[in-house]
Amino acid sequence: MKTLRVALLQLDVAWGNPQANRAKVRRALDGLAPCDLAILPELWSGSYDNPRMEALAEESPACLEEVATWCRDTGSWALAGTLPWRTPEGLANRAFLLDEAGGVRGTYDKVHLFPLLAEPEHFIPGKAPLLASLRGVRFAAAVCYDIRFPEFLRRMALEGAEVIGVCAEWPLSRIDAWRTLLRARAMENQLFVVGVNRAGWGGTDLYGGHSLVVAPDGTVLYEAGEEEEIGTADLELSLVPRTRKALPAFRDRRPDLYGFLGENREREDTSVAPGEEETEIC
């Protein structure tokens, strides 16, 4: 496949109301023009209604089936956002990659849990990235806070990713960081990044929208506004090898100097960066 058409569902998520959100998602999906892949935001079934997260997880299978039914009806794939999902170890903030038959081709449990939204108190961290073949395209997934960890997305690139889909609930107050980080991850890894954020109020936070599609050279191919919006973009996959050939940065890497970034070398206190005090600007 030379071109991947992606639909971005930037939705205003109803707080703690999976029934309303499931209906909204199905209406949005049914209104899409033909596409290869639809991407939903993080925790779209009810947002961060943490006191009710266990109850929201009860509705997650029905929410997932709504998206799977659309995949079967249209022959499209979906990165079905994330949902609170029950596992034997506890709740996971889990993303699902669904194929054209509605089957689960891969799952990804959010690895980097965001402390300012009390995620470590409600979710267990994931243990591995998701990398799968999507109609011949090497596709990887990340969730929100993950994009602040460049070594994590670099691992995906080194394992062959051509497109990284990012599901998020990113606040408007830090939307400049969202845009900058998505562009940086695309440019440094010379691949496509598709970031789908939610919009609207959730609890006490206003979420920022500005879902983005970024090309391997950092060019913004599509950007939504702050409100609820559905958008599409065509990813010309040949841009990945062309960009890497024109500027062969991967060839010039020096993992002998910084390969330790992937090793488990912990300081006594890993809660703050070296020389820094913990602040609430993450």
Q: Which residues are catalytic, by number?
A: 42, 110, 144
3-class SS of residue 272: coil
Question: CA-CA distances (angstroms) from residue 42 to 13, 118, 119, 212, 233?
Answer: 10, 15, 13, 15, 20
Q: Which residues of 182-211 are buried (b: 16+ CB within 10 A; e: fewer)?
A: bbbbbbebbbbbbbbbbbbebeebebbbbb
Question: CA-CA distances (angstroms) from residue 88 to 29, 31, 39, 85, 92?
Answer: 31, 37, 27, 10, 10
Quote the tokens at residue 15.
Answer: 């707080």
Closest to 165 (Cα-Cα) out of 86, 241, 96 = 96
Residues 6+ apart with CB under 8 A from 175: 208, 209, 210
Looking at the DSSP assignment, which residues form a beta bridge with residue 9?
230
DSSP letter, residue 12: B
DSSP letter, residue 259: G
